[in-house]
């Protein structure tokens, strides 16, 4: 079953359209998997998303970071933590630049789009789910690709 962050933070009703931007230095091959993940969330929720070049004012900021990158949650080199994203309405979404990333599900690499689906769930206010098969279920293996599950969509519907 889905769950929320303590205090159930959420985007205000006036912000059902969110912009996202890639910070300078983002690997070019991440752009389309992340865009697809936003499209999937948009197709299944009341949210819509558009990409902006204005990475200063974007609601959601996607970047690749390595090691200690200044937010108090250092990355840890290959494996371990793969990515993290903050609860509403922070908007920061960091990939660990030290991982093997893949655009197409590949053994031994982490699937960019699947990670984005999970981290966008956090950005929208979902915590982890107890339903195996949910994108918010807390296990993720190299080579694995997943989509949204009814439980993820019900979670957003319940929060908003």
Sign of the four-CA dihedral 137, 70, 51, 24: negative
Q: Does 152 bind Ca ion (CB under 5 A)?
A: no
Q: Where along the sequence are the contacts to ligand TQI (CB under 6 A)?
A: 81-84, 115, 118-119, 122, 127-128, 138-140
Dig out the tokens for 96 from the structure.
Answer: 């660990």
Please check whether residue 95 is in contact with residue 113, taking contact to mean a CB–CB distance below 8 angstroms: no
Is 119 a residue of the active site?
yes
Closer CB to ligand TQI, residue 52 or residue 145? 145
Residues 95-134 that bind Ca ion (CB under 5 A): 96
Q: Which of 99, 113, 119, 132 is labelled catalytic? A: 119
Please check whether residue 143 is in contact with residue 123, taking contact to mean a CB–CB distance below 8 angstroms: no
Q: Does 67 bind Ca ion (CB under 5 A)?
A: no
Q: Considering the complex, what minimum distance in angstroms separates the CB of residue 139 from ligand TQI?
A: 5
SS3 state at 73: coil
Catalytically active residues are 119
């Amino acid at each position: 079953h889905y769950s929320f962050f303590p205090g159930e933070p959420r985007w205000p009703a006036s912000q059902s359209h969110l912009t996202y931007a890639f910070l300078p230095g983002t690997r070019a091959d991440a752009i389309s998997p992340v865009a697809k993940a936003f499209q999937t969330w948009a197709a299944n929720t009341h949210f819509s998303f558009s990409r902006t070049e204005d990475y200063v004012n974007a609601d959601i900021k996607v970047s690749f970071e390595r090691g200690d990158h200044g937010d108090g949650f250092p990355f840890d080199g290959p494996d371990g933590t793969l990515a993290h994203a903050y609860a509403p309405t922070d908007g920061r979404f960091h990939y660990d630049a030290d991982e093997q990333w893949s655009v197409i599900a590949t053994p031994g690499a982490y699937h960019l789009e699947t990670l984005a689906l999970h981290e966008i769930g956090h950005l929208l206010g979902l915590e982890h789910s107890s339903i195996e098969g949910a994108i918010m279920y807390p296990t993720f293996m190299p080579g694995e690709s997943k989509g949204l599950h009814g439980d993820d969509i019900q979670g957003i519907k319940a929060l908003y």
